[in-house]
Structures are given as C-alpha cells and as structure tokens.
Amino acid sequence: MVIERFKNRTLNLTYTTTYQTLGSEIKSDYWGNINVSHNGRDLKHLSFVTLIIKNTTRSDAQVPLNLDVWVDNSNQFLGHDGHYEAGNAIRHEDNFEKEFNKTLKELDEDLKLREFEGHVTPDDLNRRIRYFLLNRKLSLPVLNRKSSVTINFLIENFEGKTPKLNFSILQKGVKLIPEADEAKIEQVKKNAVGLLCLALYAIGLIWVYKQYHDKHDAITWTVIVGSASYFMAYGFYYLFIWLKKIFTT
C-alpha cells in the first residue's frame, strides 16, 4: 500500500500568467477616440495572455496531461498557439479537435446560407460556436522533468477590461502551483533546514564535549558534527516531505 502511494505521489507543476493589453477602446473629449479592431471588427478591449507551465520536479509526467482553459461570458478567445521548449506544437485534445473542425465546417456552410432571406442559424450550432469561443482543451502528451510549455492566447473582452484566464489539469496526482508560491515553499525549506541543522549541531556539540576531553579530538569532532548536521538536516527534511506525501495522497 505504501509503495502504491509512492507511485501515485503528487506531481507539482508551477505556472505563471502574464497579461499584455494590446488595445482598449477610449472615447474621451480630452484624448479623443481610440478604436481597437481585429480583422475589421471593432473591439472594446484586446489582450495577449501567456501561460507558462513548468515541471521543475525530478519526475516526468507519467501520463499525457489534459489542460482545460476557459474564460467567462464577458470574454472570448480569438486565437491561441502553444509550444514546448524544443518548438513542438501543442494541439487540441482529439475529441475537442474533431468537434471544433466539425463546427467550423458547419459555420462556413451557415454563413453562405445567411445570404438567403429567412435563414435561421440552428440553436445547436450557435451553442457550439459559443462553447468554442469560451473554451480550449489542450493535450500535453509529455512534460518531462525540468521542461516547460508556453501557450499564448488572444482574448477579446466586451467590457473594456483585462480578461481572467482560467485553467486546470484534472488528472489525479497532478497539481498546479503558482510559481510565486513555489518560491515561498523553497524559503520555508531553507528556514526549516537551517533550524534543524542548528538543533542537530547543538546536540552534537553537547555529545562531543561529554565524550572527548582532549582538545584536539574535540575540535576534530566538532568539525565532523558540523558537516554531518547539515546533511542530516536535509535528510530529515526530505524524509518528512516524502512521508507526508505518502500518507496524505
């Protein structure tokens, strides 16, 4: 049971999101009118959002990862692209890609029919178009240790505001953590190891001066204890983290 839990331990992936405003509509007596357009269509606000996901751990992702990305009804996707560090493209999940292409084909046919008076776009097609404007489902076949993926999104906001990009990986044993939080965890680790090292060193010194009255031997063992306490502190820390992962996942 313990071995099984070890195999299924959590894989922590870090992420960062950056938002770059490409343009926002302004109508002002002082500044004048500033218009934003995309393919000839006027917009309220246009943003370029970059999502970077990193595997900074010492483990490879054991299964392909499915990344769900979405925005709320005040936004819509106008496009996206993604790639690994080596340049390999990131694609849609197979089922999503199939339905996406099917909907695009039906939309193209529907646009031609709109030239005829009385044509009504089917509700099902409108529903699917809206779904694909709000959602992306991407496939990450591999995400090896010390590697990353970068995905860029072009997003329109109808209210003139910066959009909020939402995303998740729902596979069991995979957790997304903000990169800033990982830095905090690293600082906590350093503090914990430092305190543990100090405690072990103090205990070691007490033992040395109780066991060795010869000055030369005491100095030698003090150096040994100092070095050993450092490595032991790291050992105890990682043992604690390992046991915590096993019994809490």
| Model confidence pLDDT, tens digit, residues 220-245 | 556 565 556 655 666 666 666 665 55
CB under 8 Å, gap of 24 or more: what pairs does 177-184 form?
Answer: 177/12, 177/13, 177/14, 177/15, 178/14, 178/15, 178/16, 179/14, 179/15, 179/16, 179/54, 181/14, 182/12, 182/14, 182/56
pLDDT, tens only, 141-152: 888 888 899 999
pLDDT, tens only, 82-133: 999 888 899 999 999 999 999 999 999 998 998 888 889 999 999 999 999 9
Pairing of strands 147-157, 26-28: unpaired
pLDDT, tens only, 11-31: 889 999 999 999 888 877 777
Is 21 in the same domain as 48? yes
Is 104 in the same domain as 220? no
* Both structure tokens of 230: 């450092």
Q: Range of 244's domain? A: 183-248
Is 129 in the same domain as 189? no
Query: In the listed set 109, 139, 172, which residue is the last one of a domain according to the structure?
Result: 172
Tell whether 196 is covered by a domain. yes
CA distance 217 to 197: 22
Tokens 């010492």 sit at which residue? 58
Q: Which residue has the higher pLDDT, 160 or 32?
A: 160
| Residue 19, helix vs strand vs coil | strand
Is 160 in the same domain as 201? no
The pLDDT assigned to 62 comes to 73
> Whole-model pTM?
0.70
As a dihedral over the C-alpha atoms of residue 40, residue 41, residue 45, residue 48, rounded to 10 degrees, the angle is: -50
- Crossing angle of helices 94-113 and 123-134, in 10° steps, is 130
Q: Which residue has the higher pLDDT, 200 or 112?
A: 112
* Both structure tokens of 122: 């089917």
Tell whether 43 is covered by a domain. yes
| 2, 245 contact by CB (below 8 A) | no
Q: Which residue has the higher pLDDT, 53 or 63?
A: 53
CB contact set of 220 (below 8 Å; sequence gap of 6+): none
Instruction: Say how many domains are in the chain.
Output: 2
Residue 243, CB half-sphere, CA atoms under 13 Å: how many?
A: 6
The pLDDT assigned to 145 comes to 87
CA distance 138 to 151: 10
| CATH classification of the domain holding 53 | 2.60.40.1170
Is 111 in the same domain as 196? no
Tell whether 2 is covered by a domain. no
- Averaged pLDDT score across all residues of the chain: 80
Q: Indicate the length of the chain as a whole number.
A: 249
* Both structure tokens of 183: 């830095």
